[in-house]
Amino acid sequence: MINIDKHISYWQSGAAKDFGVAEQLIRLGKIRHGLFFLQLTLEKILKAHVCRNSGDIASRLHNLTRLAELSGITFQ
Protein backbone atom coordinates (compact mmCIF):
# COMPACT_ATOMS: atom_id res chain seq x y z
CA MET A 1 0.00 0.00 0.00
CA ILE A 2 1.22 3.50 -0.86
CA ASN A 3 1.92 5.90 1.99
CA ILE A 4 0.66 9.14 0.39
CA ASP A 5 1.57 11.26 3.40
CA LYS A 6 5.18 10.15 2.99
CA HIS A 7 5.16 11.16 -0.69
CA ILE A 8 3.56 14.51 0.10
CA SER A 9 6.19 15.16 2.78
CA TYR A 10 8.96 14.23 0.32
CA TRP A 11 7.75 16.77 -2.26
CA GLN A 12 7.18 19.48 0.36
CA SER A 13 10.63 19.00 1.86
CA GLY A 14 12.28 19.13 -1.56
CA ALA A 15 10.33 22.27 -2.45
CA ALA A 16 11.44 24.01 0.75
CA LYS A 17 15.10 23.15 0.11
CA ASP A 18 14.95 24.28 -3.52
CA PHE A 19 13.28 27.54 -2.47
CA GLY A 20 16.14 28.23 -0.08
CA VAL A 21 18.67 27.64 -2.85
CA ALA A 22 16.69 29.93 -5.17
CA GLU A 23 16.73 32.71 -2.58
CA GLN A 24 20.49 32.40 -2.12
CA LEU A 25 21.19 32.40 -5.84
CA ILE A 26 19.01 35.44 -6.46
CA ARG A 27 20.71 37.32 -3.60
CA LEU A 28 24.05 36.53 -5.27
CA GLY A 29 22.78 38.02 -8.54
CA LYS A 30 22.49 34.64 -10.26
CA ILE A 31 18.96 35.36 -11.39
CA ARG A 32 18.72 32.77 -14.17
CA HIS A 33 19.86 29.97 -11.87
CA GLY A 34 17.60 31.23 -9.08
CA LEU A 35 14.61 31.17 -11.43
CA PHE A 36 15.44 27.59 -12.38
CA PHE A 37 15.29 26.58 -8.72
CA LEU A 38 12.00 28.46 -8.34
CA GLN A 39 10.64 26.38 -11.22
CA LEU A 40 11.77 23.23 -9.40
CA THR A 41 10.08 24.51 -6.24
CA LEU A 42 6.79 25.04 -8.05
CA GLU A 43 7.00 21.63 -9.71
CA LYS A 44 7.46 19.92 -6.33
CA ILE A 45 4.63 21.90 -4.72
CA LEU A 46 2.33 20.87 -7.56
CA LYS A 47 3.41 17.23 -7.23
CA ALA A 48 2.57 17.31 -3.52
CA HIS A 49 -0.91 18.56 -4.43
CA VAL A 50 -1.27 15.88 -7.11
CA CYS A 51 -0.48 13.23 -4.48
CA ARG A 52 -2.93 14.75 -2.01
CA ASN A 53 -5.78 15.09 -4.51
CA SER A 54 -5.32 11.83 -6.39
CA GLY A 55 -4.29 9.60 -3.50
CA ASP A 56 -1.55 8.23 -5.75
CA ILE A 57 2.11 8.84 -6.58
CA ALA A 58 2.70 11.96 -8.65
CA SER A 59 3.45 11.54 -12.31
CA ARG A 60 7.01 11.90 -13.58
CA LEU A 61 5.89 14.91 -15.60
CA HIS A 62 7.83 18.16 -15.59
CA ASN A 63 5.17 20.13 -17.47
CA LEU A 64 3.95 22.72 -14.96
CA THR A 65 0.73 23.38 -16.85
CA ARG A 66 -0.22 19.70 -16.85
CA LEU A 67 0.80 19.27 -13.21
CA ALA A 68 -1.36 22.26 -12.28
CA GLU A 69 -4.31 20.61 -14.05
CA LEU A 70 -3.69 17.31 -12.24
CA SER A 71 -3.27 19.06 -8.89
CA GLY A 72 -6.86 20.24 -8.75
CA ILE A 73 -5.77 23.78 -7.91
CA THR A 74 -7.84 26.42 -9.67
CA PHE A 75 -6.07 29.53 -10.88
CA GLN A 76 -8.05 32.67 -11.58
Q: What string of DSSP letters covers 9-75? A: HHHHHHHHHHHHHHHHHHHTT-HHHHHHHHHHHHHHHHHHHHHHHHSSPPPS---HHHHHHHHT---
Into how many domains does the chain fold?
A: 1
Task: Say if pTM beats, i.e. exceeds, 0.75.
Answer: yes
Q: Looking at the domain assignment, is residue 27 inside a domain?
A: yes
**Residue 49 domain boundaries:** 4-71
Q: Looking at the domain assignment, is residue 76 inside a domain?
A: no
Q: Looking at the domain assignment, is residue 20 inside a domain?
A: yes
* Residue 76, pLDDT above cutoff 80: no
For 11-67, write each residue's pLDDT tens digit: 999 999 999 999 999 999 999 999 999 999 999 999 999 999 999 999 999 999 999
Q: Looking at the domain assignment, is residue 54 inside a domain?
A: yes
